[in-house]
Amino acid sequence: MLQNLHRIILVFNDALRECNTQRKRHTDTLVSWFQSEEMKVAMFLHLLLLLALNTQPLLAAVPEPVVDKQGNPLVPGIGYYVWPLWADEGGLTLGQTRNKTCPLDVIRDPSFIGSPVAFYAEGLGHIPTLTDLTIDFPVFTVCNQPTVWRLSKQGAGFWFVSTRGNPEDITSKFKIERLEGDHAYEIYSFKFCPSVPGTLCAPVGTFEDVDGTKVMAVGDNIEPYYVRFQKVFMNAQENKPSSIV
């Protein structure tokens, strides 16, 4: 009886020692794991610090002066022809589209030199890129209405660039964007993208109407229309046409 009790006590002690050994082994493993993870975190934070100290922040696009074909900055209120890349004609002008009524829309006439276009940037003495602009045709028209550009909705996700705009309205805020590239210094496109969060932001391109008229428009599948600016000669600006349609 005593021998059996002694044997049981020995087995119990052996089991207890094995349990303590296993617990110590697990504890050492757990401590080692935590130390390893702490080392990983420390190395990661050190790497982030090195990156922060040695990497310059990315710079956002900065507005720059828009220039004409001769490389001169555009002057607010001065008339400029807006020509396509491939010709010194076919400029922007005004025309009666849709129901052939007023207001007039902004169109591209391949057979016409174009009408003077003037740009205005609030509080600035030059015309910069990536900045809200008011764009106007400083000419008289048969509609006797303001010729400030305005976005006019024509359907779901589609707008014409029309007139009768108001410089204070968000629908009359357009931007000029320069084409990226070393050889694209004088090449630009228009964009409707008011500096107001949550508003439409899309390029201005051309849309061929049912009668073949090329109307400036914004919408699905409308690609940017790239242009150059040519300053109108002074004598041409002084003689404003009484009507362009």
Note down pLDDT in tens along the chain; length 245 residues.
Answer: 444 434 434 434 444 454 454 455 544 544 454 455 454 444 445 434 443 444 333 345 789 999 999 999 999 999 999 999 888 889 999 999 877 789 999 999 999 999 999 999 999 999 999 999 999 999 999 999 999 999 998 888 899 999 999 999 999 999 999 998 776 678 999 999 999 999 999 999 999 998 899 999 999 999 999 999 999 985 544 444 445 65
Residue 243 confidence (pLDDT): 52
Evaluate whether 216 touches 107 at the Cβ level (below 8 Å).
Answer: yes
Q: How many CA atoms lie within 13 A of 207 on its CB side?
A: 22
Enumerate the β-bridge partners of residue 233. Answer: none
Closest residue by Cα to residue 83 from 197, 186, 191: 186
Evaluate whether 66 touches 207 at the Cβ level (below 8 Å).
Answer: no
Structure tokens at 20: 């303590």
Peptide linkage before 103 cis (omega within 30 of 0):
yes
Residue 91 to residue 116: CA distance in whole angstroms: 9
Closest residue by Cα to residue 124 from 74, 69, 165: 74
Beta-carbon neighbour count of residue 148 at 10 Å?
A: 20
Residue 184 confidence (pLDDT): 67
Residue 237 to residue 103: CA distance in whole angstroms: 23
The verdict on pTM exceeding 0.75 is no
Residue 98 to residue 215: CA distance in whole angstroms: 10
Residue 233 confidence (pLDDT): 80
Residue 216 to residue 60: CA distance in whole angstroms: 29
